């Protein structure tokens, strides 16, 4: 009989964590496919975005499987991208996907934020240094963590300008149709 290897708590936690992460990403991919068709502005992004989300879920699942098995690959240096820009560039603004889809994407963002805020998640993610390349783009498009929209600074209210005092040019005569008539002062005579 072979003895079962001694697994650390992180190694036993990794498969369940990856399963829940993949469930959230699968729901997000389905939401993207269903909801972005309604927005002509984002229709061309459906397939590239869906591919990016599902690819991130598969990469995360593989990474957590390696972590559970104790065979984490060593981080490699990524060379710069060759040539020109990608065929379809995705928006890069904070929480842009939540703004495009609405409350359903915000609900999935809160589920992912809750998953990442669990007590064992920080230790788990710290042991896999390459996990940031998977999580950061997803966190940014959903507005999670450090990428959450920051509240605008409160600007001090400027001091009130003193009211201008109206000094009538002469004695009040009458008012008609939005006009007020005053007695015109006689101009001083010029000597000469």
Each residue's pLDDT tens digit, 94-145: 888 888 888 888 899 999 999 888 888 888 888 887 888 888 888 888 888 7
How far, in Å, CA of 95 to CA of 138, rounded? 9
62 to 14, 96, 134, 146: CA distances (angstroms): 11, 27, 11, 25
pLDDT band at 81 (very low <50, low <70, confident <90, very high): low
Average pLDDT over residues 74-85: 59
Is residue 13 in a domain?
A: yes
How far, in Å, CA of 44 to CA of 25, rounded? 20
**Amino acid 86: pLDDT:** 55
pTM (whole model) above 0.85: no
Q: Is residue 147 pLDDT above 60, yes or no?
A: no
**Amino acid 1: pLDDT:** 47
Is residue 22 in a domain?
A: yes
**Amino acid 192: pLDDT:** 60
Is residue 64 in a domain?
A: yes
SS (H, E, C) 128-182: CCCHHHHHHHHHHHHCCHHHCCCCCCCCCCCCCCCCCCCCCCCCEEEEECCEEEE
Is residue 157 in a domain?
A: no
Higher pLDDT, 100 or 72: 100
Higher pLDDT, 159 or 113: 113
Is residue 119 in a domain?
A: yes
Q: Tens digits of per-residue pLDDT, 12-56?
A: 888 888 899 999 999 999 998 888 888 788 888 888 888 889 999
Domain containing 96 equals: 9-74+88-147
Is residue 192 in a domain?
A: no
Residue 187 tokens read as 């101009």
How far, in Å, CA of 64 to CA of 25, rounded? 15
Compute and round to an integer the Cα radius of gyration of the chain.
32
**Amino acid 23: pLDDT:** 93
**Domain tally for the chain?**
1
Average pLDDT over residues 146-156: 66
Which residues does 124 contact at the CB level (< 8 Å), separation at least 6? 10, 13, 14, 17, 64, 67
71 to 5, 11, 38, 68, 98: CA distances (angstroms): 13, 11, 44, 8, 36
Is residue 79 in a domain?
A: no
Is residue 69 in a domain?
A: yes
Higher pLDDT, 89 or 136: 136
């Amino acid at each position: 009989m072979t003895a079962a290897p001694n697994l650390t708590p992180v190694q036993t936690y990794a498969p369940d964590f990856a399963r829940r992460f993949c469930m959230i990403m699968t729901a997000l991919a389905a939401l993207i496919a269903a909801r972005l068709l309604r927005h002509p502005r984002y229709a061309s992004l459906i397939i590239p975005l869906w591919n990016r989300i599902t690819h991130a879920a598969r990469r995360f699942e593989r990474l957590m499987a390696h972590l559970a098995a104790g065979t984490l690959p060593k981080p490699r240096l990524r060379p710069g991208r060759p040539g020109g820009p990608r065929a379809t560039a995705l928006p890069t603004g904070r929480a842009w996907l939540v703004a495009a889809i609405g409350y359903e994407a915000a609900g999935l963002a809160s589920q992912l934020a809750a998953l990442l805020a669990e007590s064992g998640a920080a230790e788990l993610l710290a042991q896999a240094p390459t996990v940031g390349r998977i999580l950061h783009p997803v966190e940014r498009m959903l507005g999670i963590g450090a990428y959450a929209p920051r509240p605008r600074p409160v600007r001090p209210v400027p001091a009130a300008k003193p009211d201008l005092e109206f000094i009538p040019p002469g004695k009040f005569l009458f008012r008609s149709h939005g006009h007020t008539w005053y007695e015109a002062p006689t101009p001083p005579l010029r000597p000469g």
